[in-house]
Chains A and B, each alone.
Chain A
């Protein structure tokens, strides 16, 4: 939420590349990075880039947005279960809410999350879109 430039800059690896971690002890994949394995509780700092592929675990539509997101309503938010295991909270894009289904395959894309007014930074990050069927 914060409009602080350093705060957004610190998160660039996660927002642009889904940089998480792999536990060297039990090999569990971790996102967001937390440096301690949530499974075996040992130090886990090995960088691991997630594929960005997953499926919709659940979803909803935001009509009353928190401050800073009002101009984008309505938008669809989801919990996406990534194929490597972790779950991630993200918006869905390139799809209308009626066409979203639990279990639907999705993939990560980089999109504008929000602009901080006319003068502020524009914040980019991950969203997920339906996987195009070949």
Chain B
């Protein structure tokens, strides 16, 4: 098996891009990544996306992106794993190079959600859940997270406001990220005032619906240095699954797929959680942040919230998370999110995160969660 490295990154700003199509978002991120890698051609393109068909009436994104880039003829596929589609595409790119079958791969995550409104978007996002036994009962994605948050608070005695620091931290970190969707501070007071959208989930607990695209170029680590002055090695990569429906999971608060994928990634990288310098976690909802921290081994069961309460997750803390805004404040363009996490981790490892630079960042971890936790993908990155 060959080691794989990231030799180029690219992204678009995250937001409501009324004047930009999915094709142009994809093109912009891809060209930025190719330019950063200083190459013009690749052997394959893997596109992570969840809802282009449902929302935009366009599937077959592999061929579409290859064509848009003037690379028709190249191998190109769309990869789908709900909100984890971005990291899933990265995983496929890593497999392709590690196996020795391909050398240069462009991995792209792209999502264009703002072409639909309200109930249609809510219904589209619910496609990640079990259609016959969850969605048919009128459940929304927000409600699934509310079910988990309510039980978590009940079992471990937390109050709603105990989750505030996840949100405050994400918004503070986004202030210095020009590509983030939100550039406004959240205070404990504004969090407390935020409207309940599905009790106990407040509007501020949830990440926004938005558009965006992010991309990386992968190459074999053995000659990454001849292509890039600052390659970043992929030390760990693992996908794990759990039952699709929350009701089918033995322990709904355990986020079993996160525990499995993190453990496999640690084993592959030969590190422990203590070696991780920062963690780009999947803060689609604050409850997911808490469960992810616990499942990945950074906190005991029921104690993930404590890391936020005690300041461990800030840029100066023991385990900075959402260092450039996270899903909450950079934004959560579903199928692109996993790639934003990786692009931001590369910026940290290259020492290019500006005001938000994590001091002496050597090992970064990203975790991308599909649906309510049925697909969870962990990557561990290190400066080569």
Binding site for B on A (CB under 8 A): 1-2, 11, 14, 32, 38, 57-70, 72, 75, 77-79, 86-91, 97, 102, 113-114, 123, 125
Contact = CB atoms under 8 A, between A and B. Distances in A.
The list of the 8 closest CB pairs from A to B, nearest first, reads A60-B146, A67-B123, A58-B151, A66-B123, A87-B247, A67-B119, A69-B138, A66-B122
B144 to A, nearest CB: 9
Contacts of B132: 11, 32
A57 B252 CA distance: 10
B73 interface: no
Contacts of A89: 130, 133-134, 137, 139, 245-247
Contacts of B140: 62, 64-66
Interface of B: 118-120, 122-123, 126-127, 130-140, 142-143, 146-148, 150-151, 154, 196-201, 243, 245-248, 252
Contacts, number: 114
A14 B122 CA distance: 25
Contacts of B243: 38
Given A1-B126, A77-B138, A91-B137, A65 B150 contact: no
A125 B248 CA distance: 19
A64 B142 contact: yes
B131 A64 contact: no
B197 A59 contact: no
A40 B196 CA distance: 41
A127 B198 CA distance: 19
A60 B154 contact: no
Instruction: Label chain B's interface by main secondary structure.
Output: helix
A89 B245 CA distance: 9
Given A87-B248, A89-B246, A113-B137, A65 B119 contact: yes
Contacts of A60: 143, 146-147, 150, 198-201
A26 B183 CA distance: 55
12 contacts: A1-B123, A57-B252, A58-B150, A59-B150, A60-B147, A60-B199, A68-B123, A72-B138, A87-B247, A89-B134, A113-B136, A113-B138
Q: Which of B120, B131, B136, B248 has the most CB of A within 10 A?
A: B136
Contacts of A114: 138
Nearest to A30: B248
B55 to A, nearest CB: 12
B220 to A, nearest CB: 38
Given A11-B136, A32-B133, A63-B197, 20 more contacts: A1-B131, A60-B146, A60-B150, A61-B199, A62-B138, A62-B140, A62-B142, A64-B119, A65-B119, A67-B119, A68-B123, A75-B138, A77-B139, A77-B147, A78-B147, A87-B248, A89-B130, A89-B245, A89-B247, A125-B137
A108 to B, nearest CB: 12
Nearest to B122: A66
A66 B126 contact: yes
Contacts of B199: 60-61, 97
Contact of B151 (A57, A63, A113): A57
Contacts of B134: 89
B119 A2 contact: no
Given A1-B135, A66-B122, A72-B138, A61 B198 contact: yes
